[in-house]
Copies of this chain bind each other. A is one copy, B any other.
């Protein structure tokens, strides 16, 4: 059944009002008629089966038929801090990261980040990024849409990191040394209530200066397998492994 995230204001006691692009999707893309059922997600994470009552060109009214008792959210909060990569790689990370259960994304300007967005570009990008994570959340049947923060500096990221229980960063050098810290040993010491922050560098990774700063501020350097991963692959490896560890590996759950 097709899902739509409906903002707080759209929820009445027994009815839901859908506005904006989703109306077009219901009308033109899905070609739903009155009486059809959809799933509406509430910003608080709950979801309900709703029956379409009135479909017009600019709004859709639906009746709440049944609240669902479902939750496919990753049981542990994982925020991905991504050093700004080239081209549209960040869009790939946001889309796939959302499918894989990321709780939030923090883009940051790393020393080796080549791109640099001015305020105007930043705002345009954020609108597009939020559309991508909303659609990915609907597609993967998530109960919540990940938050995307505006781009910050590494210094600011380090300040923000005090809000997290487990602070990790992928360091390419870890994939090359023999006495590396295994990602498994790190996750074995993580409990489900911990908030994880995992930082991925841009192309070329973190500079030694950045790595030192991160180490000095309680970040653990981890490797994500022995192969050198592209920046956009690293976040996906981390999220897939965390999902596997906490959702698929029985002995750890």
A227-B140 in contact given A237-B243, A241-B244 (Cβ < 8 Å): yes
Q: Which residue of B lies closest to A249 (CB)?
A: B184
Q: A53 contacts the other chain (Cβ, under 8 Å)?
A: no
A229 to chain B, nearest CB (A): 5
Determine the distance from Cα of A228 to Cα of B92 in the docked complex, in whole angstroms: 17
Q: A221 contacts the other chain (Cβ, under 8 Å)?
A: no
A196 to chain B, nearest CB (A): 15
| Interface bracket on A | 35 or more
Chain B residues in 8 Å Cβ range of A72: 175, 226-227
User: Copies of this chain, how many?
Assistant: 2
Q: A210 contacts the other chain (Cβ, under 8 Å)?
A: no
Contact of A227 among B142, B185, B223, B241 (CB under 8 A): B142
Q: A11 contacts the other chain (Cβ, under 8 Å)?
A: no
Q: A129 contacts the other chain (Cβ, under 8 Å)?
A: no
Chain B residues in 8 Å Cβ range of A30: none
Q: Which residue of B lies closest to A237 (CB)?
A: B240
Determine the distance from Cα of A247 to Cα of B174 in the docked complex, in whole angstroms: 13
Chain B residues in 8 Å Cβ range of A42: none
Determine the distance from Cα of A11 to Cα of B244 in the docked complex, in whole angstroms: 42
Evaluate contact between A233 and B182: CB separation under 8 angstroms: no
Evaluate contact between B249 and A240: CB separation under 8 angstroms: no
Q: A251 contacts the other chain (Cβ, under 8 Å)?
A: yes
Evaluate contact between B227 and A236: CB separation under 8 angstroms: no
Beyond A188-B250, A241-B243, A241-B248, 5 additional pairs, beta carbon < 8 A: A100-B227, A140-B229, A141-B227, A184-B249, A224-B248
